[in-house]
A = this chain, B = another copy of it.
Amino acid sequence: MEIEELSTEQKIKHVQDTLFVMSGKWELPVLIAINAGNIRFKDLQRSVPNITTKVLSKELKDLEINKLVVRTIYNTSPVSIEYRVSPYCKSLKPLVDEMIKWGYNHRIEISK
């Protein structure tokens, strides 16, 4: 797929597909936190500022459906559950890096 060959409508469609998965307030913050090594629910809740239990639980389910997070249940007593980013999730790195850079620069630009 060559971006320059796409029509305006096709570009909009692909961007909207990405936004549909990624544009919520929490998907990327949760992924960044898991990727940083917070693999248990309690650690995640601590590392993502202001997220509620209910929202974090829903986000983790949605991220699993989108094949971005893998949930593993260990048959210990009590049962323990770990969340990890999937190999496919690594495909988001260039996008997330661009978002980090742009957000950083935009704050500087807007305060000029």
Category for how many chain A residues contact B: 35 or more
Query: Does A100 touch B at the CB level, under 8 Å?
Result: yes
Q: How far is the CB of A1 from chain B (nearest CB, A)?
A: 5
Name the residue among A3, A24, A103, A104 with the largest chain B CB count within 10 angstroms: A103
How many copies altogether? 2
Query: Does A73 touch B at the CB level, under 8 Å?
Result: no
- Given that A19-B23, A67-B110, A88-B109 are contacting pairs, would A12 and B102 also be in contact in the complex, using a CB cutoff of 8 Å? no
Chain A residues packing against B (C-beta within 8 Å): 1, 3, 6, 8-9, 11-19, 21-25, 28-29, 32-33, 36, 38, 47-49, 66-67, 88, 91-92, 94-107, 109-110
